[in-house]
Structure 1
């Protein structure tokens, strides 16, 4: 049986490829009302590229030339969005002024000492952590303190630095209704060799995926508060480092990410640690260039650390 001269499989494959291409190209048109479906799609947007080999294999299996040609559409859209990240050299050319490690170390981490040693082995000038418990704080200080003598800790976030820190202060990014004990942000000025740079270390509220969709209202509100603080900050050179519980494509973070620059290359998926599917741990900049980001090996956390190379313009 044919449909307009085409086999049913031709029609199915062409429609599937067209749908995949449209979903990628027009992801911002997916509504983000109930269930935050737009944010959910954008969190895993790179994985829509898997539709190309799946549809391509079906086209070969069914001997559908039309279906095989139709696969070029979602492939082209994927390369348009992510090709720069995928095709860029693994290493951006040096030199770098600053190396930053970002890691949600997990408050239930059974091996904080091993995690701290893994972060130390990255040989970064700055080590930013989240979910730092009072008991684990001493462990991280014991491991990192000798090489990173400058420290700033507020609530559950911390920053260890090779370079001197000044103007250290807490940052209030609490969504409405959250208790005062919810302390997940700090700001400090780092006296790096290339010049001073302001660093925010933050941990936005968690999101949950359930039958009703993605629950991200608190995270989105916190991102908007942080975006306002960043926008009002007079610093010429600024980094936001932390667990944002979202990707840079997620429109829920736009009030923050629209004010900053993301690394131009490298997926560096960081969560979940055992089989990472998204990078929700970020190093974003303003007035600086985050030239390269990469994910490091697993630690005792459910996140992987990410390493960023930064040039101070």
Structure 2
């Protein structure tokens, strides 16, 4: 029996682990195949407080993990296949560990960025290919940038990146954009943004120092073209990692966990959610860490109250 099991080891899960370990709750943290989450694919993090010279994503996650271990947090690698939340203690089926039980659970499984699946894309993540404009836009000052996508997030990223790049080209495989009218109008009014609509991305081209171009096909003519570029931002959405929950937790239309506003409390008492798995707006390391702190405090308070109720019941039965 574990007091708390944390699922996921990004900034949210690791911060929750630090707080719970310091409270002597000895949390068990289950890390999946990508310990540290999306931040481990980021070569340089310059906007996390406390690192004036910047820090690599893997290094930041490693330091947070060591901090949690220092206070007694236990880490185990496995894949959570299913959770039974019908009653407490909760039961987890974990590949490689068997069945585990916990009085409370913190879900910090994050959201996975959607990729195009084209040639050269995965190999150049962190070498010019990114899914986060606010994370990496600064590195492309005065350079040519491509944003791939046609939704609100693509328009938002294109506008943001225009602060840095000499030119921002929006590439979309459709002739029409899916973005809301207000977002489209804002992007079209931006003099730094140019358009390559009705073009299908085919492959990322890179040299020794990183990305140099994007191969596209004009859907109307069938002709292929190489667009010279220094940075490519894929903005086709994110998928929250919530399928393993089996519909037991309330989510929004996009699959993000719904929490009580101002808390990390879900619809299941004793289950909390933090980080990108419940945040489809900010998706930053610092906001994820903040919500991890909130989840730990919410969880600690829940366990204290549950223990008090249990002790009261025992006392009454003895009278």
TM-score in terms of structure 1 length: 0.29
TM-score in terms of structure 2 length: 0.28
Q: Which has the higher helix share?
A: 1
